[in-house]
Amino acid sequence: MKPFTIIKFNHFIIKLLFLSLILSGTSCNRSVQTNNTKLNVSNIDFINLDVNTLIKDCESQLNKATPKITDLSKHPRFIETNKTEWEQVPNDKLIWTSGFYPGILWYMYDITGNKKWKNEAIKRTEVFEDFKNITEHHDIGFMMFPAYGKGFQIGNKHEYKDILLTSAKSLASRFNENVGTIKSWCNKMHPRWKQHITIIDNMLNLELLFWSAKNGGDPKHYDIAVKHAETTMKNHFRKDYTSWHVLEYDSITGNVLNRHTKQGYADNSRWSRGQAWGVYGYTMIYKETKDEKFLKFAEQITNKYLEQLPKDLVPCWDFDVANNPSEEKDASAAAIVASALLDLSELTKSQDNKKKYYQTAKNMLASLGSKKYSGVGKTDSFLIHSTGAKSLGSEIDVALIYADYYYIEALCRLKKIEKKNTKV
């Protein structure tokens, strides 16, 4: 995601450039930039993005998929390469993705106002209330907030409040004061690490704690979230603002024992979705705290992420293998960052960054909504070409439910920004 300055092209040539990108295939190598060749993403206007068209595409995909997703004990997780329908997995306390499908439905209701989507969202949300008591891992945030949190915020389902507060209490129970972070995983299921494990993904679970502190939960939840963010900022990032995936801390002293990976190419590599979690996470932290140190850090890691991007703005699954033409893309990372950039464009104090982040987010969404990455006419998903965990041999070049979640979230955010801007 690294910038090189280009001369402004007229609109016709720009569209031809975008079309050539669409047709260029999905390997990482074709569009990778070296550290010495920068792509000025803020100066590229791929196409006049029509957010309403992309939203209609998503609704059309949902209309096709929803009648097939009828087992309330399961949720859609992925669509295999060359398949068309969602593979559904059990709603289980150890499977972290249960909240994304109901979250998609809540966002579709928010965008369209169609009560069909609200009713479907309620039906899909209320089947795993008992997950509020999960204390085995940190993923309760991912599981509960896209479902119950969005139901509370978008659907005015205030009866979800106590469920969310209990969920936040369960998440907070994993905080280790000696370390200053929430423990992500249990050692039994991840035996490589013997002590306190914290992964970069955990940043997004903090939103549940902030919500709790603002809505009648324990005020300490705010302090825990802030401390976790501060500790992660200190230990999880390299001097160049890229992050490791997994840190192991001494549970008693709080010292860092190891910096590793689980889903990246190598322990010292830059797993692209891990970088995306950081961008989204610290943008959200600043949004919740208004602490300038978090804004500065969010901008620093965001700018580093953008410096590493290929021309189509969709990264390889790990930046350190991007020169290999056989390596797959990860559209989920692009969707996560596009959503974060729209928020960051509204939060930054710099007018240059505001313009850059907003335009880059639109360009990312245009790329994701193009024939190259859209599931329209191919599968039941919004997006294709995501990679879940190639290092584990899992979910490689597939559609992923959380890619679709952050994509529709980004479209929802963009539509609201555009509506606000037309009133100015």
Spatial contact of 248 and 235, defined as CB atoms under 8 Å apart? no
The amino acid occupying position 389 is A
CATH number reported for the structural domain that contains residue 400 in this entry:
1.50.10.10
In a domain, 338, yes or no: yes
Residue 29 pLDDT > 50, yes or no? Answer: no
In a domain, 120, yes or no: no
Element (H, E) at 259: strand 256-260
In a domain, 389, yes or no: yes
| CB proximity list for 388: less than 8 A, separation 6 or greater | 78, 263, 332, 394, 395, 396, 398, 400
Helices (H), 181-219: 206-214
Percent of the chain whose predicted confidence (pLDDT) is above 70? 89
| CB proximity list for 50: less than 8 A, separation 6 or greater | none
Band (pLDDT 50/70/90 cuts) for residue 245 is very high
Spatial contact of 370 and 57, defined as CB atoms under 8 Å apart? no
Q: Would you state the pLDDT for residue 424?
A: 66
| CB proximity list for 173: less than 8 A, separation 6 or greater | 135
Spatial contact of 333 and 322, defined as CB atoms under 8 Å apart? no
Question: Is 110 designated active site?
Answer: no
* 150-164, 185-199, 298-312, 343-357: segment of lowest average pLDDT: 185-199
139, 312, 320, 343: the catalytic one is 139
Task: Please state the rounded mean pLDDT for residues 390-416.
Answer: 98
Band (pLDDT 50/70/90 cuts) for residue 47 is low
In a domain, 108, yes or no: no
Residue 357: other Cβ atoms inside 10 A: 29
Residue 240: other Cβ atoms inside 10 A: 11
- Higher per-residue pLDDT: 21 or 100: 100
In a domain, 14, yes or no: yes
- The rounded distance, in Å, linking the Cα atoms of 62 and 75 is 14
**C-alpha distance from residue 30 to each of 21, 35, 328, 329, 351 (Å):** 9, 15, 11, 11, 32
Task: Please state the rounded mean pLDDT for residues 319-335.
Answer: 96
Q: Would you state the pLDDT for residue 302?
A: 98
Q: Would you state the pLDDT for residue 423?
A: 78
In a domain, 56, yes or no: no
Backbone angles phi, psi at 409, to 5 degrees: -60, -45
Element (H, E) at 12: helix 11-22
Q: Would you state the pLDDT for residue 325?
A: 85
Q: Would you state the pLDDT for residue 5?
A: 32
What total of structural domains would you count in the chain? 1
Handedness of CA 155, 357, 17, 242 (dihedral sign): negative
- The rounded distance, in Å, linking the Cα atoms of 241 and 259 is 15
List, for residues 62-106, the tens digit of each pLDDT value: 999 999 999 999 999 999 999 999 999 999 999 999 999 999 999
Mean pLDDT of the chain: 90
- The rounded distance, in Å, linking the Cα atoms of 281 and 152 is 21
Residue 1 pLDDT > 80, yes or no? Answer: no
Q: Would you state the pLDDT for residue 10?
A: 36
In a domain, 364, yes or no: yes
- The rounded distance, in Å, linking the Cα atoms of 185 and 201 is 11
Helices (H), 236-349: 272-289, 292-306, 331-347
The 10 Å CB-count burial string (b at 16+, else e) for 195-205 is: bbbbbbbbbbb
Q: Would you state the pLDDT for residue 20?
A: 36
List, for residues 165-184, the tens digit of each pLDDT value: 999 999 999 999 999 999 99
The strand pair at 399-400 and 74-79 is best described as: antiparallel
- The token pair at 303 is 């700018």
Spatial contact of 142 and 207, defined as CB atoms under 8 Å apart? no
201, 312, 320, 380: the catalytic one is 201
* 44-53, 79-88, 195-204: segment of lowest average pLDDT: 44-53
Phi-psi region of 397 (alpha: psi -120 to 50; beta: other; left: phi over 0): left
Kindly tell me the burial class for residue 4, based on how many C-beta atoms sit within 10 Å of its own C-beta (0-12, 13-18, 19 or more): middle
Domain that holds residue 336: 1-49+63-70+301-424
Band (pLDDT 50/70/90 cuts) for residue 189 is confident
Handedness of CA 55, 59, 65, 70 (dihedral sign): positive
In a domain, 316, yes or no: yes
- The rounded distance, in Å, linking the Cα atoms of 16 and 230 is 45
- The rounded distance, in Å, linking the Cα atoms of 79 and 177 is 40
Element (H, E) at 175: strand 175-176
Q: Would you state the pLDDT for residue 27?
A: 54
Question: Is 404 designated active site?
Answer: no
